[in-house]
């Protein structure tokens, strides 16, 4: 017996999960909406012989967001400018004449987000064509076209072909993503974003989760004139089971030596370390060999009285 929670179209639902143990199943509600608990059996064959469903309505939990780091089926779109068709394999099909907006609302990219998307596409013409990727619906105030990408993978009958694109900026937080096709019919199976571990990314000083202290100036690409008792906090830094090998800081020190206190706060408690950044005439990159930490951490850079530092970015290296 195989168990699934789906919507009315048979697409896996994100408003509940199901755990099964042979002929029993437990549903855990995650958000408001209607779903179907579907049970199938093959009865010893290689094809499904029996399908049974129970319908449920969930209320009082609020909206369940979509996880872009798990594959999102095209059939889960929630906004459009026209009547779209059903695509192959629970996808969505655009119209041939006119523009098609395929919008997915409540997509939770997390506080750091991602800028790499994979779209499985099936189309018939075999010629390159553009796909507009928007944050928000195109006709709504505040919406922005993030990228216009070109699909040039050709066509293969009834087969989705993956196309991966690096976008000019990250989608972050809970937002709407919309795919716009103009005068072009195709099937979109869905989409998935690459999950980025921010702990090993190049992080700009301005990308902190919190900053506080007596003296600092936020510029276009740095935090400068960092002085008395300033702290920069970076949350959700997952160093995994291996940890890092070194820390690179891009900064500028107008005094002989800036002592930067680097504090890690995780499940095992707080770890305090030092990075001594010597004088530099301009922005330079310096490497520091710190004792590694593991797992999820909150990282804080602390500047004590007497500091005079300009901070552009940093990067932990495995």
Please count the other Cβ atoms lying within 10 Å of the Cβ belonging to residue 223.
Answer: 22
Residue 244: closest CA among 195, 300, 197, 310: 197
- Asked if residue 292 and residue 250 are part of one domain, the reply reads yes
- Which CATH number is 282's domain given? 2.60.120.260
Report whether 172 contacts 128 (CB < 8 A).
no
- Asked if residue 270 and residue 203 are part of one domain, the reply reads yes
Q: pLDDT tens digit string along 82-98? A: 999 999 999 999 999 99
Final residue of a structural domain among 134, 169, 196:
196
Could you tell me how far CA 185 lies from the centroid of its own chain?
28
Q: pLDDT tens digit string along 3-57? A: 999 988 888 888 999 998 878 899 999 999 999 999 999 988 989 899 999 999 9
CB within 8 A of 308, min separation 6: which ones?
A: 225, 226, 227, 253, 254, 255, 258
Evaluate whether residue 206 is within a structural domain. yes
CB within 8 A of 55, min separation 6: which ones?
A: 34, 35, 36
- Asked if residue 207 and residue 184 are part of one domain, the reply reads no
- Asked if residue 231 and residue 189 are part of one domain, the reply reads no
Q: Which domain holds residue 33?
A: 2-58
- Rg of the chain taking only CA atoms, in angstroms: 25
Each of the 318 residues of the chain gets a pLDDT tens digit; together they read 899 999 888 888 889 999 988 788 999 999 999 999 999 999 889 898 999 999 999 999 988 899 999 999 999 999 999 999 999 999 999 999 999 999 999 999 999 999 999 999 999 888 999 999 999 999 999 999 999 999 999 999 999 999 999 999 999 999 999 999 998 999 999 999 999 999 999 999 999 999 999 899 999 999 999 998 999 999 999 999 999 999 999 999 999 999 999 999 998 899 999 999 999 999 999 999 999 999 999 999 999 999 999 999 999 999
Evaluate whether residue 163 is within a structural domain. yes
Evaluate whether residue 65 is within a structural domain. no
Predicted local confidence at residue 10, as pLDDT: 85
Evaluate whether residue 99 is within a structural domain. yes
SS3 198: helix
Partners of 297 in the β-ladder: 237, 266
Place of tokens 């066509």: 155
Evaluate whether residue 160 is within a structural domain. yes
Distances (CA, A) of 28 to 2, 8, 10, 185, 268: 17, 18, 18, 38, 31
Predicted local confidence at residue 272, as pLDDT: 96
Place of tokens 């987000």: 113
SS3 185: coil
């Amino acid at each position: 017996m195989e168990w699934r929670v789906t919507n009315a179209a048979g697409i896996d639902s994100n408003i509940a999960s199901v755990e099964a143990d042979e002929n029993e199943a437990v549903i855990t509600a995650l958000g408001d909406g209607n779903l179907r608990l579907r049970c199938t059996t093959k009865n010893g064959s290689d094809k499904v012989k029996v399908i049974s469903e129970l319908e449920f309505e969930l209320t009082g939990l609020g909206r369940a967001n979509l996880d872009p780091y798990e594959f999102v089926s095209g059939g889960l779109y929630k906004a459009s400018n026209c009547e779209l068709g059903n695509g192959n394999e629970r996808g969505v099909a655009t119209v041939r004449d006119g523009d098609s907006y395929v919008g997915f609302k409540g997509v939770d990219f997390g506080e750091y987000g991602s800028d790499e998307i994979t779209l499985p596409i099936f189309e018939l013409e075999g010629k390159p064509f553009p796909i507009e990727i928007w944050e928000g619906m195109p006709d709504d105030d505040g919406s922005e076209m993030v990228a216009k990408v070109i699909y040039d993978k050709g066509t293969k009958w009834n087969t989705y072909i993956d196309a991966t694109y690096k976008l000019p900026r990250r989608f972050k937080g809970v937002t709407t993503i919309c795919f716009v096709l103009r005068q072009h019919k195709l099937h979109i199976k869905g989409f998935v974003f690459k999950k980025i571990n921010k702990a090993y990314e190049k992080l700009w000083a301005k990308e902190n989760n919190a900053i506080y202290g007596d003296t600092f100036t936020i510029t276009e690409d740095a935090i400068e004139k960092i002085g008395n008792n300033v702290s920069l906090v970076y949350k959700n830094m997952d160093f995994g089971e291996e940890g890092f090998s070194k820390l690179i800081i891009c900064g500028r020190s107008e005094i002989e030596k800036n002592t930067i206190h680097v504090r890690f706060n995780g499940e095992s408690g707080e770890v305090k370390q030092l990075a001594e950044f010597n004088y530099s005439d301009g922005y330079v990159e310096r490497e520091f060999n710190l004792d590694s930490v593991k797992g999820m951490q909150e990282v804080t850079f602390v500047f004590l009285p007497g500091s005079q530092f300009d901070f552009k970015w940093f990067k932990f290296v495995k």
